[in-house]
A and B are shown apart, each in its own frame.
Chain A
Amino acid sequence: MPMTKPRTPGAELPAHPTFLWESPTPKKRYDVVIVGGGGHGLATAHYLVKNHGITDIAVIERGWLAGGNMARNTTIIRSNYLWDQSTALYEYALQLWEGLEDDLEYPILFSQRGVLNLAHTLQEVRDSHRRVEANKLNGVDAEWVDADGVRELCPLVNTSRDIRYPVLGATYQPRAGIAKHDYVAWGFARKASAAGVHLIQDTSVTGFLTTGNRVTGIRTNRSDISAGRVALAAAGLTSTLTDTLGIRVPIQSRPLQALVSELLEPVHPTVVMSNAVHLYVSQAHKGELVMGAGVDSYTGYGQRGAFHIIERQMAAAVELFPVFARAHLLRSWAGTVDVTPDASPIVGPTPYENLFLNCGWGTGGFKATPGLGVAFAHTIATGTPHRLVAPFSLDRFVSGRLVDEHGAAAVAH
């Protein structure tokens, strides 16, 4: 038998950096204060600098930078949503991803390896065809592939007819893929910090200072900070902040779990997602199989979820990918995701004229990071919602103009 030299996992990845950003002492006042140093907060800071020339910015993070959902997500990036409003936003983001490494001058390991969204029932087949056609009309690369096509793209998938939920086909978006979430966050943080943005870690925002219908600053566990404008990018913790202002936001914070296997040789060439069996899988650059589950059923801020969710997810994984039965689970974790009634985000103004809201991305906001950054920065800088986020305002729940993406986003990320 020929011997191949064992590959050192991660050998081709860039070395870990030492320091990429400063940790300054907070000033007493900033033009813009962003609450939450996840991907969205950091990207928003970057585009406020880049597109609007605003640099007097603080990003306030209660823990360590990008240690929330940004550090916990399964990094799937795609734009094959159903409705025009969503496709416009996610496709814009995808185009930014395609040039993000150059913009940030930092490796983000964006890998356009394609995403398969499996269909297991006749209804799912019909819905998938409908979504493919809608995507094509919106200029998104999308195609329908049958079970043989699935096997060609990802030979590991069990496409036999005698499994509990046979694979009848899939939608395929070739330009979709994954990126390395930590590097994305670090890339944005590095750029923002170099431009003079203050990234303040270990500081919890506990409330707001207000005068009439203006927010004049934030309270933190360290000291108060005055602000010309305040932008919320606190994901699952958003309602703990808006509650202090009496603003109700229709989000429910749920645990969402994921897990990785030990490091393996490359076996899985693409990204496979299945709504019906609540599973999505890719193989990270270093070699771990990365698998996500469906959301846990109840409100939960504990950053951990129920074991039976993982158990069901593993059952589905082993049936769809029989070879995975040989892999060992290395670790599992959860984030706190902010789900909305229509599975679409909430971005835009609030009853306070200089307070801006960004939340409700639920299980799927990583892919939007650069697009949201541009649109939210525009909204904050000009005081007018960017056209790409205008349909996602809080008042759609009053007007009834919901953007129902349950089919494209409920389990799928």
Chain B
Amino acid sequence: MQLIDCPWCGCREEIEFSYGGQAHIPYPDNPAELNDTQWAHYVFFRSNPKGVCAERWVHSAGCRRWFNALRDTCTYHFIETYRIGESPSFTSASLFPVTESQVSVPTEAGDRKTQ
């Protein structure tokens, strides 16, 4: 079983932890101004990279605190764990693969077709 390095408790067995999905997704600054598409992307759409990604984890059967981790989704290897509010020391362009400009808002044509 693999060990996960809780930033507060140190290395513990994987079964003590729960997965919380993609990390670093801020609550929208201007919630009242978001349209349905933007809300959908905030609520339902997460990146799903094949490679290194930043994720939230919680040490549920230990200190019960949340933290972030960089993990490779092909090898499942944890590259680094760090506390909420901290930045990882490992950086890579592929880390946050979907930037704001890549978020596709379905085109008019796409919208019409699916109705």
Q: For chain B residues 3-22, which have a beta carbon within 8 Å of chain A?
A: 14-15, 18-19, 21
Chain B residue at minimum C-beta to C-beta distance from A390: B114
* A256, B68: Cα distance in complex, Å: 24
A398 touches B50 (CB 8 A): no
* A67–chain B nearest beta-carbon distance, Å: 17
Q: Are A298 and B19 in contact (CB under 8 A)?
A: yes
Which of B88-105 touch A at CB < 8 Å? 97-98, 102-104
Tell me if B30 is interfacial: C-beta within 8 Å of chain A.
Answer: no
Contacts A308-B15, A349-B113: A248 and B104 contacting too (C-beta < 8 A)? yes
Q: Is the CB of B98 within 8 A of A341?
A: no
- A314 contacts the other chain (CB 8 A): no
Q: Are B110 and A341 in contact (CB under 8 A)?
A: no
Determine whether the beta carbon of B45 is less than 8 Å from that of A350.
no
Within 8 Å CB of A250, what residues of B? 44-46
- Return A337 CB to nearest CB of chain B, in Å: 12
Check A55 for interface membership: any CB of B closer than 8 A.
no
Residue picked from B37, B45, B75, B110, most chain A C-beta under 10 Å: B110
A358 close to B (CB within 8 Å): no
The residue that A351 contacts in the complex, of B1, B46, B53, B106, with Cβ under 8 A, is: B106
Contacts of A307 in B (CB 8 A): 1
Are B45 and A301 closer than 8 Å at their CB atoms? no
Q: Mark A284-325, 1 if CB is under 8 A from B, else 0.
A: 000000000000011111100011100000000000000000
- Nearest residue (CB) in A for B103 is A248
B32 at the interface (CB under 8 A from A): no
Which one of A213, A246, A394 contacts B114 once the chains associate, using CB atoms below 8 Å?
A394
Is A211 an interface residue, CB under 8 A from the partner? no
B18 / chain A contacts, CB cutoff of 8 Å: 297
A274 an interface residue at 8 Å Cβ cutoff?
no
Closest Cβ neighbor of A297 among chain B residues: B19
Does A261 reach chain B (CB closer than 8 Å)?
no
B109 touches A213 (CB 8 A): yes
> Does A148 make an interface contact (CB < 8 A)?
no
Q: Once the chains are docked, how many angstroms separate the CA of A299 from the CA of B47?
A: 10
A297: chain B residues at CB < 8 Å are 18-19
B80 close to A (CB within 8 Å): no
Residues A350 and B46 in contact, CB atoms below 8 Å apart: no
A252→B46 contact, CB < 8 A: yes
| B contact residues around A341 at 8 Å (CB) | 44
CB contacts (< 8 Å) of B29 on chain A: these are: none
Could you tell me if A395 and B107 are in contact, using CB atoms closer than 8 angstroms?
Answer: no
Interface size on B, residues (CB 8 A): 38
- Name, among A213, A247, A299, A341, the residue most crowded by chain B CB atoms within 10 Å (CB to CB): A299
Q: Is B74 an interface residue (CB 8 A)?
A: yes
Interface residues of A in 323-375 (CB under 8 A from B): 341, 348-353
Residues of chain B lying within 8 A (CB to CB) of residue A112 = none
Partner of B1 from the list A246, A247, A248, A308 (CB cut-off 8 Å) is: A308
Report if A300-B14 is in contact (Cβ < 8 Å); known contacts: A247-B104, A250-B44, A397-B44: no
Report B111 CB to chain A, min CB distance, Å. 7
A243–B47 Cα distance when bound, in Å, is 9
A341 to B55, CA, bound (A): 17
Do A393 and B104 touch across chains, with their CB atoms under 8 A apart? no
Give complex CA distance A397, B42 in Å: 11
A399 contacts the other chain (CB 8 A): yes
Chain B CB within 8 A of A240 CB = yes
Q: What 1/0 flags go to B56-79 for Cβ under 8 Å of A?
A: 000000000000000101111000
Given contacts A248-B41, A308-B1, A385-B114, contact A302 B19 (CB under 8 A): no
The verdict on A306 contacting B1 (CB below 8 Å), with A298-B19, A298-B71, A351-B109 known, is yes
Choose among A213, A301, A353 the residue with the greatest number of B CB atoms under 10 Å from its CB.
A301
Q: When the two chains form their complex, are residues A301 and B73 in contact, meaning their CB atoms are under 8 A apart?
A: yes
Please tell me if the beta carbons of A301 and B19 are within 8 angstroms of each other in the complex: no
Chain B residue numbers with a CB within 8 Å of A298 are 19, 55, 71, 73, 76
| Contact A246:B104 (CB < 8 A) given known A300-B73, A302-B76 | yes
User: What's the least CB distance linking B77 to chain A, in Å?
Assistant: 10
Bound together, the chains give a CA A299 to CA B76 distance in angstroms of 9
Q: Taking the complex as formed, is A32 at the interface, i.e. its CB lies under 8 A from any CB of chain B?
A: no
The residues of B that contact A308 with a CB separation of less than 8 Å are 1, 14-15
A248 & B15 in contact (Cβ 8 Å cutoff)? no
Known: A250-B44, A353-B109, A398-B40. A302 touches B75 (CB 8 A): yes
Q: Known: A300-B76, A302-B76. Contact between A397 and B45, CB under 8 A?
A: yes
9 A-B residue pairs with CB within 8 Å: A248-B45, A249-B45, A251-B48, A253-B48, A298-B19, A385-B113, A395-B111, A398-B40, A399-B36
